[in-house]
Amino acid sequence: MSKITDKVHELAKPVVEKAGCTLWDVEYVREAGCWYLRVFVDKEGGVSINDCETISRTLDPILDEADPIPDSYVFEVGSAGAERELKRPGDFAQFMGSEVEVRLYQPLNGSKVFVGSLSRYENGNVSITSGKENMSFQKAQIALVKLHVSI
């Protein structure tokens, strides 16, 4: 995490928890020529638009006063989503056994995308089980791992 996201995480966590949610992630990215500060939250039973609005209205003046970002940016608060990206060891521990999608930088056996049940996580290396097949991926191969929702 960058210093900006660390600072925003520190400022946002008590606000998010007071609203009855948990802070999932903070993202500060440049897209289409604009900077975006995104705070992703989670809540048992799902995050509502009212939750996002409450957190946004409470956190916005705190961010203005602390001024952790020197440039102008678009501020958004949203749900972590059903297909959220797993980044930290705690994310993987929380969703062990859940269906995930592993995306690779380079194709392996003709594919860059693999779906299966998360069976192991160790130091960035990920293993999944799909049917009777076990697959393991090294940290350097993995572009991202996210929850997968089958329809």
Compute φ and ψ for 118, nearest 5 degrees. -65, 115
pLDDT confidence of residue 56: 97
More confident site: 1 or 37: 37
The average pLDDT across 133-139 equals 95
pLDDT confidence of residue 88: 92
What is the number of other CB atoms lying within 10 angstroms of the CB of residue 38? 17
Assigned token pair, 16: 């998010």
Sequence-distant (6+) residues with CB within 8 A of 61 are none
Q: Tell me: pLDDT of 1 over 80.
A: no
pLDDT confidence of residue 71: 87
Domain boundaries, the chain: 3-79, 85-147
* Helix (H/G/I), strand (E/B), else coil: 97: coil
Q: Tell me: pLDDT of 35 over 80.
A: yes
Q: Tell me if 3-79 shares its fold with 85-147.
A: no
Pairing of strands 142-147, 99-108: antiparallel
* Cα 133 from chain centre: 27
pLDDT confidence of residue 150: 84
**CATH 3.40.50.150 at 85-147, yes or no:** no
DSSP assignment, residue 32?
A: T
Strands across the sheet with 133-137, in order? Answer: 85-86, 142-147, 99-108, 111-122, 125-130, 133-137
The average pLDDT across 9-20 equals 97
**CATH 3.90.330.10 at 3-79, yes or no:** no
* Helix locations, the chain, DSSP H: 3-18, 49-66, 89-94
The average pLDDT across 122-126 equals 95
The average pLDDT across 41-66 equals 95
How does residue 2 score in pLDDT terms, banded at 50, 70 and 90? low
